[in-house]
Amino acid sequence: MAARVVTVNRDTKPGIYPVLVGMAITLKNMLKTMFGGGAATVQFPEQKRKTSGRYRGIHILTQREDGTPKCVACYMCATACPAECIYIEAGERPEATIEKYPTRFEIDLLRCVYCGFCVDACPEEAIFMSRENDLVGTTRAELIIDRDRLMERAKLVEYGPGYRPTDHDVRRPVRIAALERLKHEHGIVLGPPTR
């Protein structure tokens, strides 16, 4: 296949016309942003971007009624995790209704790829994701977040829930109870995931 050769004469002066065209585009966009509404940028961190109802942000561990983690340390999330960022140590739950619970549950947020596989893998609906996404720290160590940090409710209220088990299993009594509790205690209503 023969290539088409285009010869450009660089010696001719372009003149003012192309500059004016460029300036016109810039001016148009400036006016659109100022008066037409709809700037593409936001004033972070004062202003937050709107994120989807299934946004995959920092993880949340759900709680039982007594405030202990719902997690039973089955290691399903750690097994599914492609980034190997979940570290769990299991221990004996003091009251022996459900024997096992995580004495340590840590997620290395710098390793995490926010794929949400842990949420999909969890058989207990113990882990889901919030829409929190501003990940700031001065050392690597402080971005390995532990069980207590993962169980903080305030963050969830502030940012809202993100990716969580899909609604096909809403029938399950466990899930209904969890939803009711969330609504009752934190005023969060989890409808079907919205975009």
Partner 1 sequence: MRAGGCFEMSTPPKMTKITIDGKELEVPPGTTVIQAGLMAGIEIPHFCWHPDLAVDGNCRMCLVEIEKMAKLQIACNTVVSDGMVVRTTSEKAVQAHRTTLEFLLVNHPIDCPVCDQAGECYLQDQYMEHGLHDSKIQPEEKVRKRKVVDLGPIMLDAERCVLCSRCLRFEAEVTHTNSFEFVNRGDHTQISTFENRPITHNYAGNLADVCPVGALLSHDFRFKMRVWFLEATESVCTGCSTGCNIFIDHRDGEAQRLRPRRNVEVNKSWMCDIGRREYKEIALDTRVTGARIKGASGWEDASNVSALDVLADRLEAAGAASAFLATPQASNEDLFAFRTLAERVGGMLDFRVGDPQDKVRVLEDGVLLRADRNPNTQGCLDQGLGRTGVKEILAACAAGKVKVLVLEGPELLRQPEAMDAVAKVPFVAVMATHEEPILERAHLVVPAAMWAETDGTFTNYQRRVQRFRRAFAGPGSATPRWELTARVLKRLGAPLAAGSTREVFALLAKAVADYAGLDHRSVGAGGRALTPRPGDVATQEARA
Contacts (CB under 8 A) with partner 1, residues 82-101: 90-92, 96, 98-100
Closest CA to 107 of 74, 139, 149, 73: 149
Distances (CA, A) of 68 to 63, 81, 83, 98: 6, 23, 26, 11
Evaluate whether 129 touches 56 at the Cβ level (below 8 Å). Answer: yes
The phi, psi pair for 167, rounded to 5°, reads: -80, 5
Binding window for partner 1 (CB under 8 A); candidates: 14-22, 37-45, 72-80, 180-188: 72-80
Residue in 73, 129, 145, 156 binding partner 1, rule: CB under 8 A: 73
CB of 161 to partner 1, least distance (A): 23
Residue in 58, 60, 61, 76 binding partner 1, rule: CB under 8 A: 76
Contact between 137 and partner 1 (CB under 8 A)? no
Total of chain residues touching partner 1, rule CB under 8 A: 15
Q: Are strands 144-145 and 100-108 parallel, antiparallel or unpaired?
A: antiparallel
Nearer to partner 1, 51 or 68 (CB): 68
